[in-house]
A = this chain, B = another copy of it.
Amino acid sequence: MNKCDQCIVRQLSSLKALNKDEVVKLANSKTTYTIKKGEAIFEEGEVTNGVFCVKDGVGKLSKLSANGKDQIVKLVKSGELLGQRSMISNEPANLSAKAIADMEVCFIPKSEIIHFFNNNNQFSLNLMQSVCEDLKESENDKIALVQKTVKQRLAETLLHLHNEFGENADKTLKVQLTREELAGIIGTATESCIRLLSDFNKLELIELVGKKIMLKNIKALKRMAE
């Protein structure tokens, strides 16, 4: 079994507040899983009874609509916890979690989290803050959906992906999303997303390197996102 005390990722999440004893307890109760790109960690409606700590890779939280489109609510990366909300609310998952790039995740049973929550004030405050952060982001997204055009939201999302996940050696975005997934984040039709990417390409705001995207004029993208 891998010891959690050597896991760098732990330092990035609410779990950083745990003391030595608690980390040992954590290491003894956790289970590690490997999730291949495209596979699900959990699906909408499932009862998870714990949280997943993302050790490596990138995932998406999304909800399938009646017309078959997948609306992406949030992307997650190393150090983030998944399923906190459903666990705290005692509800089945409201969203599905799937891997966008191969992932390694650790499952931590609910009983452990509740125990830490009740016995470690710093941990409960951290957990609270991370849910608050999610709430703020969600509210701001909601406002952007109403107040901004698809073009603005695309510019905004490209900048956000660049900030959050960085770029490869060839300057292209590190997160490799399909056009469909990108459309699912900004909340538009796949074709509209593709069309706008073409436009941005012609305007030399970005460069399309095969399926990859390179940001060429960040200043102009920022202006456009306003």
Contacts and interface: CB of A to CB of B under 8 A. Distances in A.
B94 A136 contact: yes
A139 B66 CA distance: 16
Given A95-B139, A135-B135, A138-B139, 15 more contacts: A63-B139, A63-B143, A65-B146, A65-B147, A67-B147, A73-B143, A88-B132, A89-B133, A94-B136, A127-B128, A128-B131, A131-B135, A142-B142, A145-B145, A145-B146
A85 interface: yes
Contact of A132 (B89, B145, B147): B89
Interface of A: 63, 65-67, 69, 71, 73, 84-85, 88-89, 91, 94-95, 117-118, 121, 124-125, 127-129, 131-136, 138-143, 145-147, 187-188, 226
A85 B137 CA distance: 11
Contacts of A95: 139
Among A63, A125, A132, A141, which residue has the most Cβ atoms of chain B within 10 A? A132
Contacts of A88: 125, 128-129, 132
B125 A117 contact: yes
B94 A129 contact: no
A1 to B, nearest CB: 30
A129 B85 CA distance: 8
B134 A135 contact: yes
Contacts of A138: 135, 138-139, 142
A89 B136 contact: yes
Contacts of A187: 145-146
A71 B188 CA distance: 20
Contacts of A147: 65-67, 69, 71
A85 B132 CA distance: 6
26 contacts: A63-B139, A65-B143, A66-B147, A66-B226, A69-B147, A71-B146, A71-B147, A73-B139, A84-B132, A88-B125, A88-B132, A89-B129, A89-B133, A91-B136, A94-B139, A95-B139, A117-B121, A117-B124, A128-B131, A131-B132, A135-B135, A138-B142, A142-B142, A142-B145, A146-B187, A146-B188
